[in-house]
Amino acid sequence: MKSSAKNISLTSLDDLFSTEEERSRDVVGTIVNIPLSQLHDFPNHPFKVRDDEKMEETVESVKAYGVLVPAIVRQRPDGEYEIVSGHRRKRASELAGLSELPAIVRDLDDDAATIIMVDSNLQRENILPSERAAAYKMKLEAIKRRAGRPAKDNSVQVGQNFGGKTSRELVAEKSPDSPTQIQRYIRLTELQPELQDMVDTGKIAMTPAVEISYLKPKEQELLLETIDSEQATPSLSQAQRMKKLSQLGGLNEDTMLSIMSEQKKPELSSSITLSGEKLKKYFPKSYTPAQIENTIFKLLDSWLLKRQRDQSR
């Protein structure tokens, strides 16, 4: 492994290991090489470390150049270390067969460590909605505590000790989202894990998911059962009506089923018009409308069979 001094002078591949926020931060401390066995994940770390294509690229660069940007860690009471920033670098080092990770040891309290951990990850690509939601909530609560107010206070009312800015505005300063969007993400943390998964996979859109987050836990469990039985997820309109019924105390199995069993697009077969002008380039000039229609449905049948085969695997 290259020496620490050489590692930090090579910056051409920094993007593989850190965010602009992390690289631009004036970090004071001595770089030390810490055994991977002594490095532990940040408690409740919201960002998943995936062994995906990006990780493969990082591993190859670690093998070729070493870890170019040191991790940020803090020491634990037992003498080992907790990663504040650098979870992906640690994993890449493991996969590359290294035994140590260059790191800067900083003296950080829980709230300062949380804020650095969130800020150093938010600019990454492919962050799931649930990851972003949990991260924003962790940072918001840390800022509230630093403001000297109980975390249960409304976020718009706290944080005034920081130049007159609210806590949400402070969270937004180093994130790609507005204060309003941050609050919407935080609402996702109120969803049952199964519903969060549906948001992450795109089965439920962000806007209806925020409305659903206001349902009580038991109502969310009932919604999951209804989604399974109806094989449908709620639209924004359906989510809004369920939220209103919940607030009025009228959301139960019958009313939820009534809403969820509605046909979202009953006019589907009659509302879609395929323009002859758009279709003609795909068919010989000699094809009649009936031949074109038959060909389209044959292709759709083939597509449907392929989807069914893929889903059964």
Q: How confident is the model at residue 45, as a pLDDT?
A: 93
Rounded CA-CA distance 213/223 in Å is: 11
Give the range with max mean pLDDT: 3-7, 110-114, 305-309.
110-114
Tokens (6 digits) for 253 = 């199995």
Mean pLDDT over the full length of the chain: 82
Rounded CA-CA distance 71/76 in Å is: 15
Give the residue extent of every domain in the chain: 4-119, 129-188, 192-260
Tell me the residue type at 149. R
CA 39 to chain centre: 24
Kindly state the helix (H) or strand (E) to which residue 35 belongs, with its residue range. Answer: strand 31-35
- Do residues 46 and 131 lie in contact, with contact meaning Cβ atoms separated by under 8 Å? yes
Task: List, for residues 141-176, the tens digit of each pLDDT value.
Answer: 999 888 774 444 444 444 445 566 777 788 888 788
* Lowest mean pLDDT segment, chosen from 33-42, 45-54, 255-264: 255-264
| Beta strand 100-105 pairing with 81-85 | unpaired
Rounded CA-CA distance 313/298 in Å is: 23
- Do residues 55 and 130 lie in contact, with contact meaning Cβ atoms separated by under 8 Å? no
Task: List, for residues 55-102, the tens digit of each pLDDT value.
Answer: 999 999 999 999 999 999 999 999 999 999 999 999 999 999 999 999
Q: How confident is the model at residue 312, as a pLDDT?
A: 56
Higher pLDDT, residue 296 or 107: 107
Task: List, for residues 39-60, the tens digit of each pLDDT value.
Answer: 999 999 999 999 999 999 999 9
Sign, Cα dihedral of 288, 290, 293, 299: negative
Tokens (6 digits) for 57 = 């690229």
Rounded CA-CA distance 89/72 in Å is: 11
Q: How confident is the model at residue 123, as a pLDDT?
A: 75
Q: Residue 153: CA atoms inside 13 Å, Cβ hemisphere, count? A: 20
CATH fold for the domain made of 4-119: 3.90.1530
pLDDT band at 252 (very low <50, low <70, confident <90, very high): very high
